[in-house]
Amino acid sequence: MTEPLRVLLADDQTLVRTGFRLILGADGIDVVAEATNGTEAVEAVRRTRPDVVLMDVRMPEMDGLEATRRILTAPRALHPVRAGATPFPDKPRVIILTTFDLDRYVYAALSAGASGFLLKDVTPEHLTAAVRTVRTGDALLAPAITRRLVQRFAQRGSDTAALHRDLASLTPRELEVLGLLARGLSNAELATRLHLAEATVKTHVARILAKLGLRDRVQAVIVAYETGLISAGAREAAQQPTEQT
């Protein structure tokens, strides 16, 4: 029998935590701990070893961005795999939840290592789907956020146009996949665009992450923009709604 997915809720508002706990519980997802600030969240992760953390941004004592950094940069020994657990990543995945749809939070959250970014007005179905998506190693990055990242890097100087030397390790097909991934296409959309099986697309994505030493697709998106592989003018595909990138 598959072990239930374990989630930690970190938010300083009791009503928010209660609502999320009820939504997740109704979908068979266990809330193993709650935290009212970043300090408590870091300690709760060490104590309960959740699969996913739903992390608020604005909290007292320590905000969610700093807590995310500390959780994801902690030594692996602090995040051992539980006995009998499915061998997913040894560190929890973090989804940032906030009421503030601001660029600086988006980029800071992704740079801190978060695997997703959602506003608190997310629907119950979208919330539970997001938790399950990041738990399996994928990342959650909506096209609207992708567009903001493009616009952010469009404001940088022309020196960002030079490709990072690490990209030289990618094949032409892998560069093409990375470029489309960075525009916000899901695996299914990538498969349709490239006339490939979805399993083949997943293999290409896995190889890209391995070659570049990246944790997940969010980091791949950031690398594509930072290196100049994708420019601000190449975002037509990001206009199509999609929940998973």
Enumerate the CATH 1.10.10.10 domain ranges in the chain, comma separated.
146-239
Residue 158 burial class via C-beta count within 10 angstroms: exposed 0-12, middle 13-18, buried 19 and up: exposed
> What mean pLDDT, rounded, does the chain reach?
79
The fold adopted by the segment(s) 146-239 is Arc Repressor Mutant, subunit A (1.10.10)
* Predicted local distance difference test score (pLDDT) of residue 4: 84
The fold adopted by the segment(s) 6-138 is Rossmann fold (3.40.50)
This prediction's pTM: 0.67
pLDDT (average), residues 90-111: 77
pLDDT (average), residues 101-108: 69
User: 232, 153 in Cβ contact below 8 A?
Assistant: yes
How is residue 54 annotated by DSSP?
E
- Nearest CA to 131 out of 54, 33, 34 is that of 54
Least confident range of 6-20, 73-87, 112-126, 175-189: 73-87
User: Three-state SS across 71-91?
Assistant: HHHCCHHHCCCCCCCCCCCCC
pLDDT beyond 80 at 156: no
User: 107, 128 in Cβ contact below 8 A?
Assistant: no
- Is residue 101 very low, low, confident or very high in pLDDT (cuts 50, 70, 90)? low
Enumerate the CATH 3.40.50.2300 domain ranges in the chain, comma separated.
6-138
Strands in the chain per DSSP E: 6-10, 30-35, 52-56, 93-98, 116-119
